[in-house]
Structure 1
Amino acid sequence: MQRNELSRERSHDSSGTAERASQTALDVDELVVGYPRADEPVIDGQTLAVPEGEVTALIGPNGSGKSTLLKGLSNRLEPDGGRVLLDGRRVDSFDSKELARKLGRLSQQNTAPDSISVEELVERGRYPHQGFFESQTADDEDAVDDAIAMAGVEHLRDRKIGTLSGGQTQLVWIAMALAQDTDVLLLDEPTTFLDPRHQLEVMRVVERLRDESETTVVLVLHDISQAARYADNVVALNEGSIHASGPPEAVVTADLLADVFGIDSEVIETEHGPVVIPLGSIEDPGCGSSGN
């Protein structure tokens, strides 16, 4: 398939069963996902193909369903309808440890005892690869070393978690997810609340994952320009529906930002991808390029 292509054609065998005609890591077919006490589903009948070995960014206003979709992809929420396929197999058919060897997920809220070291936390990422009462193997040690190096936290290796800054802690959690050594990694708002330097470091880790290990990364981002710069594919959600998906230059447009985010903006094409300059709310009669 061509790079940045989210949609794909399907072929059929003699029994009429749909087969994948191109390389996708995750296939979402008519997915319906919600929360037990909610009257309506958050994601209602959405279909999406996530290309293998690429970075896909989910964008959208607060409450649009980005994090809920991510939970559906990782089987953290049981679907009320439809299905999610990982390498052609339903994610809800994997047992938890088997799924964790293929798909990793880092949520918004992560907690660990302040007294454990960075290395000890990263080692926890090896849990899916170990049996009961099994000590670390040479492969585990190599995976931990590689994860710490890729996340750029080697200098923090012996530090206690409680002594780290927010940005440092986030990089360590990402290192733990890397140590899990999965084909697919889901990151829920990994740059939120970080200063620009640590945001850049996180996104560079994402780039290296794609370029050096061909890991499929799906991440939720609030910074639209950041999504346009680093992602191969952008999926814009609004009110639980996929409003648009495709390469950044096709999705990140002034029209889409008006429709999905309710803002008047200017989108400037640069060598690093589209850059968004918000001008104001479209409900505000005093904003906009007209100057009125």
Structure 2
Amino acid sequence: MTASPTDRPAPRSGLRPVTVVTGGSRGIGAATCVRLAREGHDLVLGYVRDAAAAEATAAAVRAAGARCVAVRVDTSQEEDVDRLFDVAAGELGPVTGLVNNAGVTGPLTRLVDVRTEDLRRVIDVNLLGYLLCARRAAREMTARGSGAIVNVSSAAATLGSPGEYVHYAATKAATDALTVGLSKELGPQGIRVNAVAPGTIETDMHAAMGDPDRPAKVAAVTPLGRAGQPAEIAAAIAWLLSPDASYTTGTVLRVAGGR
């Protein structure tokens, strides 16, 4: 039987939401951490290598009045994911939200030229990592009968990104399927699962994959005529985690400037 809102445990008075954000040190992840801190969340910031960037984001979160713990984690590794959530529960309290954001693209190139090791890494982080984090979050949230998960997808899931990174696009299409399926699986337990699908956003990801001028190029074929900003994606994520989205689940919210 599906539980009604009045049947589910109410949030404990006075307690702040505790949200895990993977890939939280830079770009969309960092903007999301700061936005959520301003909206009353305490944060667990997962990062894979750049400790200085992670600490800078954590400092911004604390300056906004929130508690924050930065945890080095490779989300493709089960033991790392378990440690991330264990640290969250031990230092901040029960996890109420997850933002599945950590992702990689590999170099921009046609599929025929992609190295097998790059294919494996993209699949391991973008798909297996999301599954591992969502599974651990679901286990904790199911026990309490509430929670929210937001997966960061991409407009590439439907555009396909030919000549750039169809392998990355494929993992983001899988993210959309994960979002829809898991929302139906967890809805009866009072857990909402949604996704945000950004278009081209001004981050350092483009330089990392070999084309720092890509946002300007894509702007020419984007109806709004520009690339997006990380804060614009963070706003969408924050809404999906908020009580204002209490009847929203299984949704892939496209924030892509019209593409």
Please, what TM-score do these two structures have when normalized by structure 1?
0.29
* Greater helix content: 2
Which structure has more strand as a fraction of its residues?
Answer: 1
- Normalising by structure 2, we get a TM-score of 0.32
The structure number with the bigger radius of gyration is: 1
